[in-house]
Structure 1
């Protein structure tokens, strides 16, 4: 059976104590996608500048780090390994810095995982996740 996952980038604002990733980041985008992924029954991952592509439930220590070109190179093998578990990853880029999409693009090519991206900075299209997943299932699986 083919596997789909949903992913997005981390957020700059974080809680001060260790939390599951979906709660560590003070982001309505992350919380919305987490809730929607659970409703739809797909795993949800968050691309962290420190930890790589992590499951939303993984407890993370707070940190202050941004994704740099050298950090991208460091994280490529880690992110690729996670992506290999899936046939398709639907990545909501919604306003994240371009480095996050760059990392996902490189790692997905290495992992031979199809990457489907969408999302505007203002989150106006975040409600399209369900229809995008349906298109992914129809066209790629």
Structure 2
């Protein structure tokens, strides 16, 4: 049986000034690269936002100013879990994102009993390995 895989990353601090799809709102090269690759590979892509919770890369959102904390994560847990429950494997690209985002998504993944894969380090290290990571999970590309 083919596993249902989802790609997640943290939001970014710098944003465009007007509402846009989440994958285009953040000025982060990490987010924009993952958004484009998710489209190419046909893998669902979400951004963990301290302001909005877990948003699809295609979801229209407005600029905001918020940072993830343990308290904010607790507030968002139910909504995040609801969005992730349909997937078997959560692939989280960390990049240089704050640890609070990783801790939050990991906590939800554990509560859901989902397989959880983390890769990527600062300065977008390993971002080019997304295809390899997905392939190793048995993800079928378009």
TM-score per shorter chain, which class? over 0.9
- Structure-2 separation of matches of 1:15 and 1:91: 24
TM-score (norm 1): 0.93
Moved over 3 A (4+): none
- Structure-2 separation of matches of 1:131 and 1:78: 30
The alpha carbon displacement at 1:68 in A equals 1.3
Task: Note the alpha carbon deviations across 1:28-87, whole angstroms, 9 max, x for none.
Answer: 111111111111111111110111111100001110010112101111111111110100
Q: RMSD of aligned C-alpha atoms?
A: 1.2
- Structure-2 separation of matches of 1:104 and 1:68: 12
- Structure-1 separation of matches of 2:63 and 2:112: 28
1:47 has 2:78 as partner:
no
Counting only pairs closer than 5 Å after superposition, residues 85-96 of structure 1 correspond to structure 2 as 85-96=86-97
**Larger relative contact order, structure 1 or 2 (CA cutoff 8 Å, min sep 6):** 2
Name structure 2 gaps, 5 residues minimum.
none
Q: Which position in structure 2 is the counterpart of 1:24? A: 25
